[in-house]
Structure formats: C-alpha cells, structure tokens
Amino acid sequence: MHVAVVGGGVIGLSCALALSESGRRVTVFDDATGDPMPPASSVAGGMLAAVGEARTGEDALWSLLRRGADAWDRQLRRLGSEVVTADDTVLVGTDTADIEHLGTVADWVAERSGTLEVVGAAAARRLVPGAGPRIRGGVVVKGERAVDNSLVIDALRRCLEEAAVPIVRRRVDDLGAVDADRVVLAAGCGSEALWPGLGIHPVKGEVLRLSRGRYALPPPTCVVRALVNGRPVYLVPRADGVVVGATSYDGDAGDPQPQVGGVVDLLTDAMTVLPGLREYRLAGIQAGFRPGTADGLPLIGALDDRVVAATGHGRNGFALAALTGELIRELFDGAEAAPELDPRRRYQGGTA
Ligand SMILES: Cc1cc2nc3c(=O)[nH]c(=O)nc-3n(C[C@H](O)[C@H](O)[C@H](O)COP(=O)(O)OP(=O)(O)OC[C@H]3O[C@@H](n4cnc5c(N)ncnc54)[C@H](O)[C@@H]3O)c2cc1C
C-alpha cells in the first residue's frame, strides 16, 4: 500500500514515520512555502503539557494529553533525548485570583490522579531562580516536559530520510489527484481548503525568541507557565535562551504579521515573572496559526474510504504528535476511530 501524507508539519511527519515503521510505502507532500500562513510547527513553544493545558470540564482533552505524554516516552527513543529542553513544569501566579485559579486547576487534576505539588512563594522562587517579587506561589508538575520545536522537526526528517520516505516539496490542491492508495490529510490550517467543511479555523498566536546576553542570568531549567493578573504567559527553555509565548486571537486569520499589543503584553508579563530577561536579546518575533476546532479536540479518523484526517490539533499539536502517529497507524491496521476524535461523527459540513 502506498500512502501519501499531505502536510509536513509535526503531525504529518509523525504520521509518516509511524506508517513507514509499520511497513507501508509513504510519501510526504509539503507545500513548504509558508504562504499564506507559516506552519504552526515552526513557531510552537514545544511544551508537552497536560496539567499546564488542563481546563476544568475538558475531560476528553485531559485524557488525550496524558496519553500524548506517554506516547512521547516511546517517540524519544527514536528521536533522541537531545530534543528535550525541560523535564518539569512550574505554574506560578502573581495575585490572589491567579493563585485561586491555579488551586482550582490543581484540585481538578488531583481528582483525576494527575500528580502535582502546590507550593508557596518561597518554594516557587527556589524552583525558578531569579523569579520576580510578585510571584505568590505555584504548582510543580514533575515530568511535564518541553521539546525544541525545530530540533523535533529536524529529527523527524532525519528518521524519515533513514527510512527512505521522500518529502516532496509540492502544494496539493486536490486530494483526488494525489497518486496513492490512501491519503493522510495533515495540512494544519491548510486542511480546510482541501476538505471544505472540516471545521478547522486558524487561531493566531505570537511567540518571542529571547537569547541570553553575555552577563544575563541563565534561562530557567524548567517550563515556567504563569498567570499575570489573569493573563497567561509561558517561558520555555532553549539551549541559548527562552521562548516566550503565546498570545491567542481568533480573528486576524489572514495576517501573518505579529501585533504590537500582543508583543508588548508578552514582554511585560515575562519580565514580571523573570525580571532578568531585561538583559536578554530579542532574537525573534513570530506569529503563527494554530489549526483550531470548535471543541479543542483534534480530528483523527477516516473521512471516506481513502482519506484519513490527522489535523485540528489547535494549541496541542506537539503534545499530541507522537500519539497521533500511533493512532493513525492503528487506524490503518483496522482499528475504529475514537468517537470523540472521529471526524465523520463530529464535523458539520462536507460529504463524509
Ligand atoms: C504561537 C504558537 C505556540 C504554540 N505552542 C505550542 C506548544 O507549546 N505545545 C504544543 O503542543 N503545541 C503548540 N502550538 C500548536 C502546534 O504548533 C500545532 O498544533 C502544530 O504545530 C500543528 O501541526 P500540523 O502539522 O498539524 O500543522 P503545521 O505545522 O501548520 O503544518 C502543516 C503543513 O502542511 C503544509 N500544507 C498546508 N496546505 C498544504 C497543501 N495544500 N499542500 C501541501 N502542503 C500543505 C504546510 O505548508 C505545513 O508545512 C503552538 C502554536 C502556535 C501558533
């Protein structure tokens, strides 16, 4: 069987690797122009979050993210641990409302047997050296990792090259015209144009890349996710600094330029958490588009007898990439799609 994977972001590459390992002949088609939207995988912070993304009431997403973290244990054996930039996550808050919110999330997670530890201000500061005076306390999540998004893409491409899976730089405009027995639709925000009615909408977000100046404090060794007066910001370690993210707008779909206000908010909030970032270099500002769905869950399942969707991962595409590869392989081996992910049960339009 020859499978074409349309899309060469973290999801398409992960699916291609899983399918190739199970003996299928695979070709990846990737537009690679970044037009009209840069691939989300090229801007992502790379947090492999479950607790950090937990929202009370989102039980289905929570259990998927937990499984996603387990799948990463297996994926790291292929990609190598060098792609990991942090092993743990600390969630911190700056005022009473932030701390109450973190406490609510911590209770919700603890009820679902997620492991975490609620700590006061002094302990939070020990875990995040250089943390600002406004930090009032936090939640420590051991084992909630982050990866370097670019290193992951490079490692996946390397594994595919070793497995003789070609990555063809070509835009696909018609899935019916793709020369393959089966097709995996993994085109991120581009998926909607290829299967109208799928229900994918772009959610814009900005990240800043800060590199450490010569005399600046070293970056944190864990992911730091903060609420600053209710506004979320995160700091994700990189070898030479930190990625600060991320804003989130539903509008602005066609505009790849970062917004001034979003960048100012991120910088202000990041320096509230870690004042020493003032000494860092502003190495880059990027905007990207998350492939969002109405309920925040990805679409993983058959669209018809030939095309299978692996898209709509929203803000969690890295966290769910390894699991998505495994689920796609299981579908090709004959498994049923999970009802909560099955696009034929979920989406409103189209022909499936
Ligand atoms: C600011 C920001 C921060 C984020 N941080 C995190 C994070 O910390 N953790 C996390 O888990 N997730 C994060 N995400 C989300 C994550 O980046 C995405 O969910 C994930 O990258 C989606 O991957 P994808 O492969 O589906 O899509 P993409 O990475 O967008 O890749 C799709 C690919 O398909 C190609 N394509 C599109 N149309 C066509 C076509 N017609 N023909 C051929 N090729 C086509 C594109 O060129 C692209 O290469 C973040 C996203 C943003 C924007």
Q: Which whole-number Å values give the CA distances from 131 to 15, 220, 224, 241, in the listed order? A: 39, 9, 10, 16
Does 350 score more than 50 pLDDT? Answer: no
Residue 188 lies in a domain: yes
Q: Provide, rounded to the nearest whole percent, the portion of the chain with pLDDT above 90.
A: 78
Atom 50 of ligand 1, residue of closest alpha carbon: 44
Answer whether residue 152 is part of any domain: yes
pLDDT higher than threshold 60 for residue 352: no
For the entire predicted model, the pTM comes to 0.96
* Distance in Å, CA 213 to ligand 1 centroid: 30
Look-up of token digits 């085109």 = 187
| Residue 113, in any domain of the structure | yes
How many residues in total does the chain contain? Answer: 352
Residue predicted with more confidence, 33 or 145: 145
What local confidence, expressed as pLDDT, does residue 251 receive? 67
Is 126 domain-assigned? yes
Q: Residue 115: how many CB atoms within 10 A of its CB?
A: 12
Ligand 1 site, CB within 6 A: 6-12, 29-32, 39-41, 43-47, 171-172, 186-190, 194, 205, 207, 245-246, 288-291, 311, 313-319
In a domain, 350, yes or no: no
Ligand 1 atom nearest the C-alpha of 13 is 25
Query: What is the Å distance from ligand 1's center to 246 Cα?
Result: 14
pLDDT tens for each residue of 229-264: 888 999 999 999 999 998 888 766 678 889 999 999
Cα separation of 236 and 231, whole Å?
A: 17
Q: What is the mean pLDDT of residues 307-314?
A: 97
* CA–centroid distance, residue 56 to ligand 1 (Å): 25
End-to-end CA gap in the chain? 23
Name residues whose C-beta falls within 8 Å of residue 136's C-beta, 6 or more positions apart in sequence.
92, 93, 94, 95, 96, 98, 99, 121
Helix-strand-coil split of the chain, %, nearest 5: 35, 25, 40
User: How much distance in Å is there from the Cα of 276 to the middle of ligand 1?
Assistant: 31
Nearest protein Cα to ligand 1, atom 19: 317
Q: Please indicate, yes or no, if residue 307 is contained in any of the structural domains.
A: yes
Establish if 76 belongs to a structural domain: yes
pLDDT in tens, 86-102: 999 999 999 888 888 88
Ligand 1 atom with least separation from CA of 320: 11
Q: Where are the alpha helices (DSSP H) in 176-304?
A: 191-194, 260-273
Q: What spacing in Å lies between the alpha carbon of 117 and ligand 1's midpoint?
A: 32
Mark out the alpha helices in 184-229 (DSSP H runs).
191-194
- Quote the pLDDT of residue 306: 97
Q: How far is CA 66 from CA 33, 70, 283, 345, in A?
A: 33, 7, 33, 23
Q: pLDDT grade, residue 351 (50/70/90)?
A: very low
Place of tokens 């930190």: 242
Q: What is the pLDDT of residues 133-143, one digit of tens each?
A: 999 999 999 99
The CA-based dihedral angle spanning residues 272, 273, 279, 285, taken in that order and rounded to the nearest 10 degrees: -90
Atom of ligand 1 nearest to the CA of 248: 1
* 53, 106 contact by CB (below 8 A): no
Distance, CA of 114 to CA of 288 (rounded, Å): 30
- CA dist., res. 95 & res. 86, Å (int): 26
Q: Please give the C-alpha separations between residue 248 and each of 165, 312, 345, 352, in angstroms, as whole numbers.
A: 35, 16, 28, 31
- Rounded to the nearest angstrom, the gap between the alpha carbon of residue 232 and the centroid of all alpha carbons in its chain is 16
Alpha-carbon distance of 9 to 28, in angstroms, equals 10
Burial of 330 (0-12, 13-18, 19+ CB in 10 A): middle
Question: Is 107 part of any domain?
Answer: yes
304 Cα to the center of ligand 1, angstroms: 23
Q: In the chain, how many domains are there?
A: 1
- What pLDDT is stored for residue 252 in this prediction? 65
Residues 296-323, mean pLDDT to the nearest whole number: 97
Identity of the highest mean pLDDT range in 128-132, 229-233, 252-256, 316-320? 316-320
pLDDT 10s digits, 158-212: 999 999 999 999 999 999 999 999 999 999 999 999 999 999 999 999 999 999 9
Stretch 8-29: mean pLDDT: 98
Closest listed residue to residue 216, CA positions, set 267, 277, 270: 277
Find out whether 346 and 199 touch, Cβ atoms under 8 Å.
yes
Average pLDDT, the chain: 93
CA 131 to chain centre: 25
Cα-to-centroid distance, 244 and ligand 1 (Å): 18
Parent domain of 303: 2-345
